[in-house]
Amino acid sequence: MTRLFVNASQVVTCAGPARARRGAEMADAGFIPNGAVATEGEHIVAVGPQVELEAQYATAERVDCARGVLTPGLVDSHTHGIFGKPRHEEQELRASGLGYMEIAKRGGGIHSSVRDLRQRPEDELFELATPRIRRILAHGVTTLELKSGYGLSLEDELKSLRVIRRLQEALPVRIVPTFLGAHEIPLEYRAAPRTRDEYVALLIHEMIPRVAAEGLAQFADIFCEPGVYTLDESRQVLGAARAHGLALKLHADELEPSGAAELAAELGATSADHLAAISEGGIKALAASQTVATLLPGTMMFLGRSRQAPARALIAAGAAVALASDFNPGTSPTVNFPLMLTLAVSQLHMSVAEAVVAATVNGAAALGLATKTGQLAPGFSADLALYEIEDIRELPYWYGDHRCVRSWVRGNACHS
Ligand code: NIG
Ligand code: FE
């Protein structure tokens, strides 16, 4: 079926090369006033001024955009969406002065989500994740990465990844699964008779081979951070993941600089995420690599930290910057991806165009999908989001609001 999206006050195309946009390239998000988009089944076939497309697609079904703004469907390339209970108590503990790592040392943080997830059957996790993800989609996201990582045992990680597989089948959104068995060292491997080396060996020799053999993940990720996984452990785990055909991601330099961004570049990881504490050397390494620098400003905001990732320095150095929500129960319990654009502009000092490119094309590149989605251009997937605003600058401006009215993935309704 041919469709023509008409009566948009603006179409933001992000059209251009089918790869991550780097440095100054990010400033161009391709605005077409009074633009239109034609789709044929799952794909986009034409984008341009409405006056030009109307004659050519005279018989196409019309979708009335009601003077709203049309963008590529948003790509949230970093979420931990498979968990059980919320962790609201930690927000107040932090407010009273306790740090994220101190809470973790007392058995809270990730460990508390692990205890909780291990007790829940797969069906229950699926039922809990479904409405949360629908709320994410309601904000314009059409491609979503989902990580495991609150199981930290072979069975519980497989259970989490199977939930992701069921969500792929059940929900109208493109979902990319990531294995994050290396999210923490589980408590039972921190004291005799077991050792952390045994858990690293379990990851390398049992968990990764099994996840890869069952085709349950496209990426492997690791929390490479002082106090969690060392650089050396990260190298070993990610080396095994690569050997089993998984692409790589790292939680890098989130709280302290440790050389994790440099490691991501060295390993040719698809993305290095967080980077609030990245060093000068890390910025240079990412700028000289193909690794996308994925920034998660909601996390630093929610943790009450004053330091945000140095987006300007990364862009000035020529890196490719993406934005993601980091949706998770501990450090970023938000389903509102456009709020990340607000934080990008107001706290990371990015322009609106840079923020939109970071949330679409570069998010897609952070998932290895830059040739499929992230831009409104002929040949790309018909992934679109429509907002009740007249100017794209209103998307970050009305912060915390909900302006997405409809979205489509592969030409089908994603949110309506
Ligand atoms: O990306 N940094 C590690 N992982 C998550 C936090 C997970 C949690 O606290 O549950 C993050 O911020
Ligand atoms: Fe994360």
Domain of 102: which CATH number? 3.20.20.140
189 and 293 inside one domain: yes
Asked if residue 86 lies in contact with residue 333, where contact means CB atoms within 8 angstroms, the answer is yes
Chunk the chain into consecutive blocks of 10 residues (it has 416) and report each block's average pLDDT, rounded to whole numbers: 97 98 98 97 98 96 98 98 97 92 88 98 98 98 98 98 98 98 96 96 98 98 97 98 98 96 98 98 98 98 95 98 98 98 98 98 99 98 98 98 98 96
Q: How many domains does the chain have?
A: 2
For ligand 2, a single-atom ion, the residues with CB < 5 A are 326
pLDDT of residue 106: 84
pLDDT of residue 105: 84
Query: If you measure from the C-alpha of residue 62 to the centroid of ligand 2, how many angstroms do you get, rounded to a whole number?
Result: 40
Return the best residue to mutate from 91, 110, 145 for the ligand 1 pocket (most ligand atoms within 8 A of CB): 110
45 and 160 inside one domain: no
Return the best residue to mutate from 331, 332, 334, 340 for the ligand 1 pocket (most ligand atoms within 8 A of CB): 331
90 and 214 inside one domain: yes
31 and 163 inside one domain: no
117 and 88 inside one domain: yes
272 and 401 inside one domain: no
96 and 186 inside one domain: yes
Which CATH number goes with the domain that contains 7?
2.30.40.10
Question: pTM, whole model, 2 decimals?
Answer: 0.98
Asked if residue 32 lies in contact with residue 16, where contact means CB atoms within 8 angstroms, the answer is no
Residue after which a domain boundary falls, among 324, 344, 365: 365
Question: Half-sphere exposure of residue 158, counting CA atoms within 13 Å on the CB side?
Answer: 14
Asked if residue 100 lies in contact with residue 331, where contact means CB atoms within 8 angstroms, the answer is yes
Return the best residue to mutate from 112, 146, 328, 334 for the ligand 1 pocket (most ligand atoms within 8 A of CB): 328
Q: What's the domain range around 394? A: 2-72+373-415
Pocket lining for ligand 1, CB < 6 angstroms: 80, 109-110, 113, 223, 251, 254, 299, 326, 328-331
Nearest in space to 268 (alpha carbons), one of 316, 203, 219: 219
142 and 277 inside one domain: yes
Asked if residue 15 lies in contact with residue 37, where contact means CB atoms within 8 angstroms, the answer is no
pLDDT of residue 107: 82
214 and 198 inside one domain: yes
294 and 211 inside one domain: yes
Query: If you measure from the C-alpha of residue 254 to the centroid of ligand 1, how many angstroms do you get, rounded to a whole number?
Result: 9
pLDDT of residue 100: 85
302 and 331 inside one domain: yes
42 and 180 inside one domain: no
Starting from the CA of residue 330, give the closest ligand.
1
Looking from the CA of residue 113, the nearest atom of ligand 1 is: 10
Residue after which a domain boundary falls, among 327, 342, 365: 365
pLDDT of residue 101: 86
Q: Ligand 1 atom 3: the closest Cα is on which residue?
A: 223
